Structure 1
């Protein structure tokens, strides 16, 4: 394995750095290794390892999603639930009900 002797200096927003490093830490990966992995993926894919896009503000219906998109959403939801992230169903439905009532009042 080659010796890591090159430095990367980049300016990022503190919140972005903190959030990314928190996620990497949960995965057991240092920021340095995360950046190294990202660079290796760029080399492997001969470009960015993801498609840059602007996410839609409205959720897609199942018929608008590819199988891969749907699988990714399910996987993310499962991981969030497993990590205890999210809210209880009754809280969600109360929030949804409030939003619907509010939007109809406008």
Structure 2
């Protein structure tokens, strides 16, 4: 596939600097990264990752998990026993 189209994008300078350092660290140019992203969009027929707006319940559950708040189980069987009660 010949590369003859130009993409122009405007982004935050700090974001650009930080992301381009990551590209350098993994041995990738910004052009290669954009081409990879475009190829993945084509392959997935959409964005190659989930785009979600988390609701309050999900955010609360994630925070509780990080803080190790809530019920714990020693086995999957114990978890299912609790769910079936």
TM-score under structure 2 length normalisation: 0.62
Quote how far apart the aligned CAs of 1:11 are.
Answer: 0.7
Unmatched tracts of structure 1, length 5 or more = 64-106
What root-mean-square deviation, in Å, do the aligned CA atoms of Structure 1 and Structure 2 show? 2.4
SS of 1:61 mapped into structure 2: helix
Cα gap change, 1:60 to 1:30, in 2 (>3 Å): farther
1:46-70, CA deviations, whole angstroms, 9 ceiling, x for partnerless residues? Answer: 000111234648635179xxxxxxx
The structure having more radius of gyration, on CA atoms, is 2
* Deviant stretches of 4+, over 6 Å: none
Structure 1 equivalent of residue 16 of structure 2? 17
Structure 2 equivalent of residue 59 of structure 1? 63
Cα gap change, 1:45 to 1:18, in 2 (>3 Å): same
Q: Which structure has more RCO (C-alpha within 8 Å, separation ≥ 6)? A: 2
Aligned mates of 2:46, 2:39 — CA distance in 1: 10
Unmatched tracts of structure 2, length 5 or more = 69-85
TM-score under structure 1 length normalisation: 0.51
Count of residues in Structure 1 that have an aligned counterpart in Structure 2: 62
